[in-house]
């Protein structure tokens, strides 16, 4: 049996070892010479001020937090569990960042799908201050974020000068660790509203790679109109979908339901089975191929 050291996976050292395997020549006195690494990758230094990038106040600290191992421990709670000996499910209660770190060893590259519903940063949302030197309940009480009964007291107000930065600093390390858990064909779905969807898209492009963006799923969250809305009646939210490696992902299709099937009939007993008439309209002007039907009529798509 492997002896556990009580620490979560050290992501930094693991990444350094991988770089050392690929580019041993960029190491000097045990440290990476980043100028040499750039040369090996065929990249020339650019003017930092002119380079396209996405940054915010506290980004470097957010990266450090994502890479700092946790020394916390997950403890089983059998008395509150159901079917302890046979269940295939796991429910973990705790600070989500610390838990994500603790899952790195056992579930690294093992998770097929992640769905998260983070704070939307509406100005009333609570945003975590990541500090694990004390247990989370005491910490939140000491910092004035909850009262003695656990009720939240602080919110990320839009009057705060670091309103978006605080939210991004909370999201970055959690998304970074979530990506580590995904299998090579894994996907992540993230719920969000209009308030931070643009920033979330940018930070996900950085963490997952913009080539691994799959879709921005827009869903109707309510059916009634807000007649007192100042501008538009906002009836939708977003779900951003990214893949660990988009090329490895296969999405399953849903079968037609009974209502959809009623549109298909076979009045002429066609050998291919049931069919339905569809207007022959071209999606765009790129397809100009004509088609001649069995009755001699030739059809050409409109411009």
pLDDT in tens, 120-168: 888 776 666 666 555 556 556 655 566 666 665 566 766 666 778 889 9
**What domains does the chain contain, in order, with CATH numbers?**
1-53 (no CATH), 58-81+90-248 (3.40.50)
Percent of the chain with pLDDT over 90: 36
Q: How far is CA 293 from the centre of its chain?
A: 48
pLDDT band per the 50, 70, 90 thresholds, residue 32: confident
Each residue's pLDDT tens digit, 57-66? 889 889 988 8
Residue in 119, 201, 229 with CA at minimum distance from that of residue 166: 119
Report the SS3 class of residue 298.
Answer: strand
Window from 52-56, 106-110, 132-136, 164-168 with minimum mean pLDDT: 132-136
Pairwise pLDDT comparison (283 vs 227), residue with the higher score: 227
Pairwise pLDDT comparison (298 vs 6), residue with the higher score: 298
pLDDT band per the 50, 70, 90 thresholds, residue 37: confident
Phi, psi of 245 (to 5 degrees): -145, 105
Question: At what angle are helices 59-67 and 11-22 packed, to 10 degrees?
Answer: 90
Residue in 196, 173, 145, 248 with CA at minimum distance from that of residue 11: 173
Residue in 136, 129, 139 with CA at minimum distance from that of residue 58: 129
pLDDT band per the 50, 70, 90 thresholds, residue 33: confident
Name, of 32-36, 47-51, 273-277, the range with top average pLDDT: 273-277
pLDDT of residue 140: 60
pLDDT band per the 50, 70, 90 thresholds, residue 41: confident
Each residue's pLDDT tens digit, 222-266? 888 888 888 888 899 999 999 999 999 988 889 999 999 999 999
Rg (CA), the chain: 26
Q: What is the mean pLDDT of the chain?
A: 83
């Amino acid at each position: 049996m492997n002896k556990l050291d009580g620490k979560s996976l050290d992501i930094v050292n693991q990444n350094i070892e991988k770089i050392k395997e690929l580019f041993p020549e960029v190491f000097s006195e045990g440290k990476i010479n980043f100028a040499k690494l750039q040369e090996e990758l065929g990249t020339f230094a650019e003017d930092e001020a002119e380079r396209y990038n996405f940054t915010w106040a506290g980004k470097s600290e957010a990266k450090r937090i994502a890479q700092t191992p946790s020394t916390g421990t997950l403890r089983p709670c059998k008395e509150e569990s159901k079917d302890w000996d046979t269940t295939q499910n796991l429910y973990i209660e705790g600070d989500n960042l610390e838990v994500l770190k603790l899952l790195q060893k056992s579930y690294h590259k093992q998770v097929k799908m992640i769905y998260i519903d983070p704070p939307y940063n509406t100005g009333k949302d609570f945003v975590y201050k990541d500090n694990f030197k004390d247990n989370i309940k005491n910490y939140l009480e000491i910092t004035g974020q909850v009262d003695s009964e656990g009720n939240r007291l602080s919110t990320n107000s839009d009057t705060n000068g670091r309103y978006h930065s605080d939210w991004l600093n909370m999201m970055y390390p959690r998304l970074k660790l979530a990506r580590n858990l995904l299998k090579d064909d894994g996907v992540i779905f993230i719920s969000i509203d209009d308030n931070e969807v643009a920033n979330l898209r940018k930070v996900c492009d950085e963490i997952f790679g913009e080539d691994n963006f799959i879709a921005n799923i827009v869903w109707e969250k309510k059916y009634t109109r807000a007649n007192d809305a100042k501008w538009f009646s906002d009836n939708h939210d977003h779900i951003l979908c990214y893949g660990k490696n988009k090329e490895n992902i296969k999405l399953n299709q849903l079968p037609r339901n009974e209502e959809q099937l009623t549109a298909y009939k076979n009045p002429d007993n066609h050998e291919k089975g049931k069919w339905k008439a569809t207007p022959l309209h071209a999606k765009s002007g790129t397809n100009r191929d004509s088609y001649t039907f069995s009755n001699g009529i030739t059809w050409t798509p409109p411009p």
